[in-house]
Amino acid sequence: MSGGLLVAGTTSDAGKSVVTAGICRWLVRQGVRVAPFKGQNMSLNSFVTREGAEIGRAQAMQAQAARVEPSALMNPVLLKPGSDRSSQVVLMGKPVGELSARGYHGGRQQALLGTVVECLEELRATHDAVICEGAGSPAEINLRRNDIVNMGIARAASFPVLVVGDIDRGGVFAQFFGTTALLSPEDQALVAGYLVNKFRGDVTLLEPGLDMLYDLTGRRTFGVLPYAHGLGIDEEDGLRVSLRGAVRESVVAPPVGEDVLRVAVCAVPLMSNFTDVDALAAEPGVVVRFVDRPEELADADLAVVPGTRGTVRALQWLRERGLADALVRRAAEGRPVLGVCGGFQALGEHIEDDVESRAGSVEALGLLPVRVRFAPDKTLARPVGEALGERVEGYEIHHGVAEVLGGEPFLDGCRVGAVWGTHWHGSLESDGFRRAFLREVAAAAGRRFVPAPDTSFGVLREEQLDRLGDLIEEHADTDALWKLIESGPPGGLPFVAPGAP
C-alpha cells in the first residue's frame, strides 16, 4: 500500500484534526505505516520535537496517534499570530521572520509550496500512507491561487479529498454542497466525498438528506461520526475570540480526598499552549476553567497565568481587567499562583522587550525575583529535570531569557511562597511531579484534596486516541476509505456548478 488522503473541512473547527488523528490510529492498528501531515498551520498551540523543531501541537498529537515520532516534516510551515494582521513564520521548525497577512498571502506563501511538497514526498517515501489535514475551508476562493495546504497540496500530490462537516453547528448539507460548488473543475475532480461529524440522534433520520446530497453532487458520504464527549484532544485554534467560561473536560471520577481543587486559568490574549492545564483536568477532583474577571479568582485554589505570544500585551490586559491586582493579593495572602512561559515572565519584576512587542522597558507584576530580556533567537528545547523530588520532562518555546535573582529553584524558574514560575510547557504531564505539585497547592489552599495515586496522563491520552480510532472503525466506511487512500480519487466525478469564479 502506498497512498494518501487530504482531510478538508467545510469550516475551521469542523473536526479535521481529530478525524485525521482517528484515521491515523485506525490505519496503524491495521499494520499500516502512516504519518500525519499539514503543510501550513496557524496556531499558538505548538510543540517541540526531539530535534528541536517547533510544529503545531495537533500534528504532534496526530503523530502519537500514528505511533511515530513527531517531525518538522509533518508541519513545515507554522504561523503564530502576534496580532490580527501579522504572524511569526516558522519554517521547518525555526522562526524566519514576522509577516503581515498581506505580505504572506501576497507571494511568500506560494514560494513555500516547493518546500511543502518536498516534505510530503519525503514522508511518502518512508511510510505506506500519509494523511494530510487541510486548514479552514478549501473553498476560500480569495486565497486559492496561493494555497499550499488544501487543494493546492491535493493537486500537487493527486490525493483524494474527504470533506468533514460539523453537523452540530447546523447547515451541514449547504456547507458540503457549497464547498464543492465553489471549486474549479480540476479541484472538484479530487473531492471524493463527505464525512459528517458530531451527529446526535437517529442516523436513519439523516439518510434521506445524504441520498439527496449524492443526487446533487454525485459524491457519497463516507460515514457519520457521533458526537463524542470528553475527548480532550489537543486543539490548534489560536485565534479563538474568548475562552471565558470554558471548562476543560476531565475524567468522570470522584475526588480521592474530601475536597475538590478549583483551578482558574487567566484567558490572556494570544494564549499559547493552553493544553498545559489538560493534565490538571485529567485528575479526579480537579476542576479547570478559563476566566477573565478578578472575582472569578476568588474561589480558585490555584490561579494559572498561561503562556502567551504577547507577554507585554498580556500584562496590560491583566491590569486593565483587574486580574493583576487580584494576583498580587493572592500572592500576599499565600494563595497559589502558577506562571508558565509568558505567564512566568509576567510574574517577574521587569521585562526588556525590543523583540516581541518592541515596548522596551516594562514593569511586570513583581511576584517573583526574575528579570526578563527578549532575545531575537527563540529558545526551543526539550528539557528534563527534577522538582519536588520527582522527575520532570517538558518543552520550551520562548524568546524571553529569564535571569532568576532569588527564591527557591523550581525547574528553570523559581518559587516564592505559593507563587511558582517556569518556562517549561508540558511539565504537568509528568505524573509524579503533577501529584507532588497538587499536594503543595492543596496544602497552601487549605483544601483536603488528595491526588489520585494512579492517574497516568499518558495512558489517558492513549485511551483518547484509541477512541478516535474506534469512531472511524465503527462509524465510517473503512473499506471505502482504504480504497481511497490506496487508489486515489474516484474517476468520473461530476462537476457541480457554478465552480470557482
Catalytic residue among 119, 341, 399, 423: 341
Of 423, 429, 405, 443, nearest to 305 (Cα)?
423
Interatomic CA distance for residues 1 and 128, integer angstroms: 6
Length of the chain: 501
Question: Shortest CA distance to 242 belongs to which of 277, 310, 292, 287?
Answer: 292
Phi-psi region of 188 (alpha: psi -120 to 50; beta: other; left: phi over 0): alpha
Give catalytic status of residue 341 as yes or no: yes
**Choosing from 127, 398, 423, 425, which is the catalytic residue?**
425
Q: Is 266 a catalytic residue?
A: no
Beta bridge mates, 191:
161
Distance (Å, whole) CA 50 – CA 68: 12
Tell how far CA 296 is from the center of its chain: 25
Alpha-carbon radius of gyration of the chain: 23
Q: What one-character-per-residue DSSP string does 80-147 give?
A: EESSSSEEEEEETTEEEEEEEHHHIIIIIHHHTHHHHHHHHHHHHHHSSEEEEE--S-TT-TTTGGG-
Q: Which residues contact 487 (CB under 8 A, 6 or more apart)?
A: 3
- Cα separation, 108 vs 94, in Å, equals 16
Q: Give the position of cell 483536568.
A: 281
Specify whether the CB–CB gap between 49 and 69 falls below 8 A: yes
Distance separating alpha carbons of residues 155 and 2, to the nearest angstrom: 17
C-alpha 290, offset from chain centre: 16
Active site residue ranges = 341, 425
